Amino acid sequence: MSALLIGRDPARRGEDVNTRAVALLCLAGAAVAVLSGMYESYGMFAQLCAAFSDGCKQTLGFTLLGYPLWVLGAAYFALLCASVYFFPPAAVWIVGAGLGFEAELARTLIAMKAPCVFCIANGVFVVLSAAFVFRSRHFWQMLALALLSFILVQQGLTRPVPKAPVVTGQAAQAAPEPKPDITMLPIDRRYVMGPDDAPVTVVEFSDYQCPGCKRVHESIKVVRPLYEGKIRWIFKDFPLQMHPYAARAAQAARCAGDQGKFWDYQDLLYAAQGDLPDDLLKQFAQQLGLDAQAFGQCLSTDKYKAAVEASIQDADNARVDRTPTFFLNGEHLPGVPTLDGFKHLIDQALEQSKAQKQ
Protein backbone atom coordinates (compact mmCIF):
# COMPACT_ATOMS: atom_id res chain seq x y z
CA MET A 1 0.00 0.00 0.00
CA SER A 2 2.87 2.37 0.75
CA ALA A 3 4.16 2.04 -2.83
CA LEU A 4 0.71 2.84 -4.17
CA LEU A 5 0.37 5.85 -1.91
CA ILE A 6 3.79 7.13 -2.89
CA GLY A 7 2.94 6.65 -6.56
CA ARG A 8 -0.19 8.76 -6.18
CA ASP A 9 1.28 11.45 -3.98
CA PRO A 10 1.84 14.63 -6.06
CA ALA A 11 4.73 15.60 -3.83
CA ARG A 12 6.54 12.37 -4.66
CA ARG A 13 5.41 11.99 -8.27
CA GLY A 14 8.55 13.44 -9.83
CA GLU A 15 11.00 11.69 -7.52
CA ASP A 16 11.85 8.85 -9.88
CA VAL A 17 10.17 9.86 -13.12
CA ASN A 18 10.19 13.12 -15.06
CA THR A 19 6.44 13.00 -15.47
CA ARG A 20 6.02 15.91 -17.82
CA ALA A 21 8.76 14.80 -20.21
CA VAL A 22 7.49 11.22 -20.38
CA ALA A 23 3.93 12.43 -20.87
CA LEU A 24 4.97 14.55 -23.85
CA LEU A 25 6.87 11.62 -25.34
CA CYS A 26 3.85 9.37 -24.83
CA LEU A 27 1.59 11.89 -26.55
CA ALA A 28 3.94 12.12 -29.52
CA GLY A 29 4.40 8.34 -29.65
CA ALA A 30 0.67 7.65 -29.54
CA ALA A 31 0.08 10.18 -32.32
CA VAL A 32 2.77 8.59 -34.52
CA ALA A 33 1.40 5.09 -33.81
CA VAL A 34 -2.10 6.09 -34.88
CA LEU A 35 -0.76 7.91 -37.93
CA SER A 36 1.22 4.79 -38.95
CA GLY A 37 -2.06 2.88 -39.13
CA MET A 38 -3.82 5.55 -41.17
CA TYR A 39 -0.98 7.08 -43.19
CA GLU A 40 -2.34 5.78 -46.52
CA SER A 41 -5.32 8.12 -46.07
CA TYR A 42 -3.06 11.16 -46.08
CA GLY A 43 -1.35 11.84 -49.39
CA MET A 44 1.63 13.70 -47.91
CA PHE A 45 2.55 10.88 -45.53
CA ALA A 46 1.83 8.18 -48.09
CA GLN A 47 4.22 9.85 -50.55
CA LEU A 48 6.86 10.26 -47.86
CA CYS A 49 6.72 6.59 -46.92
CA ALA A 50 6.70 5.45 -50.54
CA ALA A 51 9.77 7.58 -51.26
CA PHE A 52 11.57 6.24 -48.20
CA SER A 53 10.90 2.50 -48.64
CA ASP A 54 8.02 0.03 -48.54
CA GLY A 55 8.70 -0.67 -44.85
CA CYS A 56 5.64 1.32 -43.74
CA LYS A 57 3.35 -0.77 -45.92
CA GLN A 58 4.91 -4.05 -44.82
CA THR A 59 4.77 -3.09 -41.14
CA LEU A 60 1.12 -2.15 -41.54
CA GLY A 61 0.44 -5.84 -42.27
CA PHE A 62 2.19 -7.14 -39.14
CA THR A 63 0.19 -8.29 -36.14
CA LEU A 64 1.01 -9.39 -32.61
CA LEU A 65 -1.54 -11.34 -30.56
CA GLY A 66 -3.98 -10.67 -33.38
CA TYR A 67 -3.70 -6.87 -33.11
CA PRO A 68 -2.07 -4.50 -35.64
CA LEU A 69 1.20 -3.03 -34.40
CA TRP A 70 -0.09 0.53 -34.57
CA VAL A 71 -2.92 -0.33 -32.16
CA LEU A 72 -0.48 -1.93 -29.73
CA GLY A 73 1.85 1.07 -30.07
CA ALA A 74 -0.90 3.54 -29.19
CA ALA A 75 -2.00 1.36 -26.26
CA TYR A 76 1.60 1.10 -25.05
CA PHE A 77 2.11 4.86 -24.89
CA ALA A 78 -1.28 5.37 -23.20
CA LEU A 79 -0.39 2.75 -20.58
CA LEU A 80 3.04 4.27 -19.99
CA CYS A 81 1.56 7.74 -19.55
CA ALA A 82 -0.98 6.44 -17.05
CA SER A 83 1.70 4.60 -15.09
CA VAL A 84 3.95 7.61 -14.59
CA TYR A 85 1.00 9.56 -13.20
CA PHE A 86 -0.66 6.93 -11.05
CA PHE A 87 1.93 4.21 -10.34
CA PRO A 88 5.50 5.21 -11.28
CA PRO A 89 7.12 1.88 -10.25
CA ALA A 90 5.27 0.15 -13.13
CA ALA A 91 6.85 2.49 -15.67
CA VAL A 92 10.13 0.56 -15.43
CA TRP A 93 8.41 -2.66 -16.44
CA ILE A 94 6.46 -1.05 -19.25
CA VAL A 95 9.50 0.70 -20.70
CA GLY A 96 11.57 -2.50 -20.46
CA ALA A 97 8.91 -4.38 -22.45
CA GLY A 98 8.82 -1.53 -24.98
CA LEU A 99 12.58 -1.68 -25.51
CA GLY A 100 12.42 -5.40 -26.25
CA PHE A 101 9.53 -4.90 -28.64
CA GLU A 102 11.35 -2.14 -30.55
CA ALA A 103 14.57 -4.17 -30.66
CA GLU A 104 12.84 -7.16 -32.30
CA LEU A 105 10.92 -4.94 -34.71
CA ALA A 106 14.14 -3.16 -35.69
CA ARG A 107 15.88 -6.52 -36.23
CA THR A 108 13.02 -7.72 -38.42
CA LEU A 109 12.95 -4.59 -40.58
CA ILE A 110 16.74 -4.57 -40.96
CA ALA A 111 16.62 -8.21 -42.08
CA MET A 112 13.91 -7.28 -44.59
CA LYS A 113 15.88 -4.19 -45.68
CA ALA A 114 12.65 -2.23 -45.39
CA PRO A 115 12.97 0.58 -42.82
CA CYS A 116 9.79 2.25 -41.61
CA VAL A 117 9.85 5.97 -40.75
CA PHE A 118 7.06 5.58 -38.17
CA CYS A 119 8.83 2.66 -36.49
CA ILE A 120 12.06 4.65 -36.32
CA ALA A 121 10.23 7.61 -34.74
CA ASN A 122 8.47 5.46 -32.19
CA GLY A 123 11.70 3.63 -31.42
CA VAL A 124 13.28 7.00 -30.59
CA PHE A 125 10.33 7.91 -28.33
CA VAL A 126 10.61 4.58 -26.47
CA VAL A 127 14.37 5.00 -25.95
CA LEU A 128 13.94 8.58 -24.72
CA SER A 129 11.18 7.48 -22.36
CA ALA A 130 13.50 4.82 -21.01
CA ALA A 131 16.19 7.46 -20.43
CA PHE A 132 13.80 9.54 -18.31
CA VAL A 133 12.43 6.54 -16.40
CA PHE A 134 15.72 4.68 -15.91
CA ARG A 135 17.68 4.70 -12.67
CA SER A 136 20.73 2.54 -12.01
CA ARG A 137 18.84 0.40 -9.51
CA HIS A 138 16.39 -0.48 -12.28
CA PHE A 139 19.01 -1.85 -14.67
CA TRP A 140 18.48 -5.58 -14.17
CA GLN A 141 14.69 -5.25 -14.04
CA MET A 142 14.63 -3.32 -17.29
CA LEU A 143 17.11 -5.66 -18.99
CA ALA A 144 15.16 -8.77 -17.97
CA LEU A 145 11.88 -7.30 -19.25
CA ALA A 146 13.51 -6.20 -22.49
CA LEU A 147 14.93 -9.68 -23.14
CA LEU A 148 11.65 -11.39 -22.30
CA SER A 149 9.71 -9.01 -24.52
CA PHE A 150 12.21 -9.49 -27.35
CA ILE A 151 11.73 -13.27 -27.23
CA LEU A 152 7.93 -13.13 -26.97
CA VAL A 153 7.60 -10.65 -29.83
CA GLN A 154 9.92 -12.77 -31.96
CA GLN A 155 7.66 -15.76 -31.37
CA GLY A 156 4.38 -13.93 -31.96
CA LEU A 157 5.09 -11.36 -34.68
CA THR A 158 3.33 -12.37 -37.88
CA ARG A 159 1.59 -11.15 -40.99
CA PRO A 160 -2.08 -12.09 -41.34
CA VAL A 161 -3.55 -13.79 -44.38
CA PRO A 162 -5.06 -11.00 -46.48
CA LYS A 163 -8.83 -11.19 -46.66
CA ALA A 164 -10.48 -11.55 -50.00
CA PRO A 165 -12.49 -8.49 -51.01
CA VAL A 166 -16.16 -8.73 -50.11
CA VAL A 167 -18.31 -8.94 -53.21
CA THR A 168 -22.09 -8.74 -53.02
CA GLY A 169 -25.08 -9.10 -55.30
CA GLN A 170 -24.73 -10.27 -58.89
CA ALA A 171 -20.97 -9.73 -58.89
CA ALA A 172 -20.58 -12.30 -56.12
CA GLN A 173 -22.48 -14.87 -58.17
CA ALA A 174 -20.73 -14.02 -61.42
CA ALA A 175 -17.13 -14.00 -60.20
CA PRO A 176 -16.44 -16.14 -57.13
CA GLU A 177 -12.78 -16.19 -56.21
CA PRO A 178 -11.26 -19.49 -57.39
CA LYS A 179 -9.51 -21.69 -54.85
CA PRO A 180 -5.85 -22.43 -55.58
CA ASP A 181 -5.41 -25.89 -57.08
CA ILE A 182 -2.65 -27.41 -54.97
CA THR A 183 -2.55 -30.52 -57.15
CA MET A 184 -1.23 -28.39 -60.01
CA LEU A 185 1.86 -27.21 -58.13
CA PRO A 186 5.13 -28.61 -59.52
CA ILE A 187 6.55 -31.32 -57.26
CA ASP A 188 10.20 -32.39 -56.99
CA ARG A 189 10.25 -36.06 -56.00
CA ARG A 190 13.48 -35.54 -54.02
CA TYR A 191 11.53 -33.55 -51.44
CA VAL A 192 8.61 -35.95 -51.13
CA MET A 193 8.29 -38.66 -48.48
CA GLY A 194 5.85 -41.49 -49.10
CA PRO A 195 4.34 -43.31 -52.09
CA ASP A 196 2.74 -41.45 -54.99
CA ASP A 197 -0.48 -43.46 -54.61
CA ALA A 198 -0.91 -42.75 -50.88
CA PRO A 199 -4.54 -41.93 -50.00
CA VAL A 200 -3.47 -38.82 -48.07
CA THR A 201 -1.22 -36.05 -49.39
CA VAL A 202 0.09 -33.27 -47.18
CA VAL A 203 1.83 -30.23 -48.68
CA GLU A 204 3.93 -28.26 -46.22
CA PHE A 205 5.22 -24.72 -46.83
CA SER A 206 7.91 -23.96 -44.29
CA ASP A 207 10.80 -21.69 -43.25
CA TYR A 208 13.85 -22.95 -41.36
CA GLN A 209 14.05 -19.82 -39.19
CA CYS A 210 10.35 -19.75 -38.30
CA PRO A 211 9.75 -20.57 -34.59
CA GLY A 212 6.30 -22.00 -35.32
CA CYS A 213 7.81 -24.26 -37.99
CA LYS A 214 10.32 -25.58 -35.50
CA ARG A 215 7.59 -26.43 -32.98
CA VAL A 216 5.33 -28.17 -35.48
CA HIS A 217 8.29 -30.07 -36.96
CA GLU A 218 8.49 -32.09 -33.73
CA SER A 219 4.92 -33.27 -34.34
CA ILE A 220 5.64 -33.96 -38.01
CA LYS A 221 8.55 -36.26 -37.10
CA VAL A 222 6.11 -38.34 -35.05
CA VAL A 223 3.24 -38.27 -37.54
CA ARG A 224 5.07 -39.41 -40.68
CA PRO A 225 6.28 -42.78 -39.31
CA LEU A 226 2.84 -43.48 -37.81
CA TYR A 227 1.25 -43.34 -41.28
CA GLU A 228 4.07 -44.84 -43.32
CA GLY A 229 2.74 -46.04 -46.67
CA LYS A 230 -0.55 -44.18 -46.20
CA ILE A 231 0.65 -40.61 -46.46
CA ARG A 232 2.64 -38.64 -49.01
CA TRP A 233 4.41 -35.64 -47.47
CA ILE A 234 5.48 -32.89 -49.88
CA PHE A 235 7.85 -30.23 -48.63
CA LYS A 236 7.92 -26.76 -50.23
CA ASP A 237 10.34 -24.00 -49.25
CA PHE A 238 8.86 -20.65 -48.30
CA PRO A 239 11.64 -18.62 -46.63
CA LEU A 240 10.18 -15.36 -45.38
CA GLN A 241 11.90 -12.08 -46.17
CA MET A 242 12.14 -11.24 -42.47
CA HIS A 243 14.44 -14.24 -41.86
CA PRO A 244 17.85 -13.44 -43.36
CA TYR A 245 19.28 -16.98 -43.27
CA ALA A 246 16.17 -18.92 -44.28
CA ALA A 247 16.65 -18.87 -48.07
CA ARG A 248 20.30 -19.87 -47.75
CA ALA A 249 19.37 -22.69 -45.38
CA ALA A 250 16.79 -23.91 -47.90
CA GLN A 251 19.53 -24.09 -50.55
CA ALA A 252 21.79 -25.98 -48.14
CA ALA A 253 19.09 -28.57 -47.42
CA ARG A 254 18.72 -29.18 -51.14
CA CYS A 255 22.50 -29.53 -51.47
CA ALA A 256 22.35 -32.19 -48.75
CA GLY A 257 19.55 -33.79 -50.73
CA ASP A 258 22.00 -34.33 -53.58
CA GLN A 259 23.70 -36.82 -51.26
CA GLY A 260 20.47 -38.37 -49.97
CA LYS A 261 20.34 -36.48 -46.69
CA PHE A 262 17.67 -33.84 -47.28
CA TRP A 263 15.39 -34.90 -44.41
CA ASP A 264 18.25 -35.48 -41.96
CA TYR A 265 19.75 -32.11 -42.78
CA GLN A 266 16.34 -30.51 -42.36
CA ASP A 267 16.15 -31.84 -38.79
CA LEU A 268 19.45 -30.13 -37.95
CA LEU A 269 18.28 -26.82 -39.40
CA TYR A 270 15.09 -26.80 -37.37
CA ALA A 271 16.98 -27.78 -34.20
CA ALA A 272 19.42 -24.86 -34.63
CA GLN A 273 17.11 -22.32 -36.26
CA GLY A 274 18.91 -19.18 -35.06
CA ASP A 275 21.57 -17.54 -37.20
CA LEU A 276 22.62 -20.01 -39.90
CA PRO A 277 25.79 -18.70 -41.56
CA ASP A 278 27.55 -20.74 -44.22
CA ASP A 279 30.14 -22.03 -41.74
CA LEU A 280 27.41 -23.60 -39.64
CA LEU A 281 25.66 -25.00 -42.71
CA LYS A 282 28.92 -26.72 -43.66
CA GLN A 283 29.32 -28.04 -40.11
CA PHE A 284 25.91 -29.69 -40.41
CA ALA A 285 27.02 -31.35 -43.65
CA GLN A 286 30.15 -32.62 -41.92
CA GLN A 287 28.05 -33.87 -39.00
CA LEU A 288 26.02 -35.99 -41.44
CA GLY A 289 29.14 -37.35 -43.13
CA LEU A 290 28.51 -35.63 -46.47
CA ASP A 291 31.17 -35.04 -49.07
CA ALA A 292 32.37 -31.62 -47.88
CA GLN A 293 33.80 -30.55 -51.23
CA ALA A 294 30.64 -31.41 -53.18
CA PHE A 295 28.42 -29.76 -50.57
CA GLY A 296 30.56 -26.63 -50.45
CA GLN A 297 30.61 -26.30 -54.23
CA CYS A 298 26.82 -26.72 -54.38
CA LEU A 299 26.33 -24.01 -51.79
CA SER A 300 28.93 -21.54 -53.10
CA THR A 301 27.61 -21.69 -56.67
CA ASP A 302 24.00 -21.05 -55.60
CA LYS A 303 22.98 -24.23 -57.39
CA TYR A 304 19.50 -24.21 -55.88
CA LYS A 305 18.85 -20.48 -55.57
CA ALA A 306 16.50 -20.48 -58.57
CA ALA A 307 14.72 -23.59 -57.27
CA VAL A 308 14.07 -21.97 -53.89
CA GLU A 309 12.80 -18.82 -55.61
CA ALA A 310 10.50 -20.99 -57.74
CA SER A 311 9.14 -22.59 -54.56
CA ILE A 312 8.43 -19.12 -53.17
CA GLN A 313 6.48 -18.40 -56.34
CA ASP A 314 4.55 -21.64 -55.81
CA ALA A 315 3.61 -20.35 -52.37
CA ASP A 316 2.40 -17.09 -53.88
CA ASN A 317 0.36 -19.02 -56.45
CA ALA A 318 -1.22 -20.99 -53.62
CA ARG A 319 -1.94 -17.73 -51.77
CA VAL A 320 0.29 -18.73 -48.88
CA ASP A 321 1.70 -15.83 -46.88
CA ARG A 322 2.72 -17.33 -43.55
CA THR A 323 4.68 -20.27 -42.25
CA PRO A 324 4.02 -22.99 -41.56
CA THR A 325 1.10 -23.59 -43.91
CA PHE A 326 -0.36 -27.03 -44.68
CA PHE A 327 -2.72 -28.45 -47.29
CA LEU A 328 -4.26 -31.87 -46.78
CA ASN A 329 -5.60 -33.49 -49.95
CA GLY A 330 -5.75 -30.04 -51.48
CA GLU A 331 -7.62 -28.41 -48.60
CA HIS A 332 -5.96 -25.61 -46.66
CA LEU A 333 -5.58 -26.40 -42.96
CA PRO A 334 -6.32 -23.33 -40.84
CA GLY A 335 -3.76 -22.58 -38.16
CA VAL A 336 -0.96 -24.92 -37.10
CA PRO A 337 -2.17 -28.43 -36.19
CA THR A 338 -0.92 -30.11 -33.04
CA LEU A 339 0.20 -33.74 -33.00
CA ASP A 340 -3.31 -34.86 -32.06
CA GLY A 341 -4.74 -32.46 -34.63
CA PHE A 342 -2.64 -33.97 -37.40
CA LYS A 343 -3.64 -37.49 -36.40
CA HIS A 344 -7.32 -36.59 -36.31
CA LEU A 345 -7.24 -34.93 -39.73
CA ILE A 346 -5.26 -37.75 -41.33
CA ASP A 347 -7.49 -40.44 -39.81
CA GLN A 348 -10.51 -38.56 -41.10
CA ALA A 349 -9.01 -38.32 -44.60
CA LEU A 350 -8.18 -42.04 -44.56
CA GLU A 351 -11.77 -42.88 -43.62
CA GLN A 352 -13.09 -40.72 -46.45
CA SER A 353 -10.73 -42.37 -48.90
CA LYS A 354 -11.82 -45.81 -47.73
CA ALA A 355 -15.49 -44.91 -48.05
CA GLN A 356 -15.00 -43.63 -51.60
CA LYS A 357 -13.43 -46.91 -52.68
CA GLN A 358 -16.31 -49.00 -51.35
* SS3 category, 4: helix
CA atoms of 64 and 152, how far apart (whole Å): 10
Contacts of 346 (CB under 8 A, 6+ apart): 200, 202, 223, 227, 230, 231, 328
- Pick 200 or 140 by higher pLDDT: 200
* Alpha carbon distance 358, 354 (integer Å): 7
How many Å apart are CA 217 and CA 136, to the nearest integer? Answer: 43
54-80 confidence digits (pLDDT tens): 556 666 666 777 677 778 778 888 888
Residue 232 identity (one-letter amino acid): R
Helical (H) or strand (E) element with 203: strand 200-206
- Maximum distance among all Cα pairs of the chain, rounded to whole angstroms: 83
Q: Quick one: pLDDT at residue 46?
A: 55
pLDDT tier at 141 (50, 70, 90 boundaries)? confident
Domains in the chain: ranges and CATH = 2-156 (no CATH), 182-357 (3.40.30.10)
Region 160-176 average pLDDT? 45
**Cα R_g (the chain), whole angstroms:** 25
Question: pLDDT confidence of 112, banded at 50, 70, 90?
Answer: low
Judged by phi (left if over 0) then psi (alpha if -120 to 50, else beta), residue 33 lies in alpha
The better pLDDT of the pair 357, 314 is held by 314
What pTM was estimated for this model as a whole?
A: 0.58
Task: Mean pLDDT check: name the lowest of 92-101, 150-159, 279-288.
Answer: 150-159
Please tell me the distance from the alpha carbon of residue 243 to that of residue 308, in angstroms, as a whole number: 14
CA dist 144 and 327 (Å) reads 40
Bond preceding residue 337 cis, omega within 30 of 0: no
pLDDT at residue 10, rounded to an integer: 44
φ, ψ for residue 176, nearest 5 deg: -70, 145
Helix (H, G, I), strand (E, B) or coil at 65: coil
Residue 1: band (very low, low, confident or very high) from pLDDT cuts 50, 70, 90:
very low
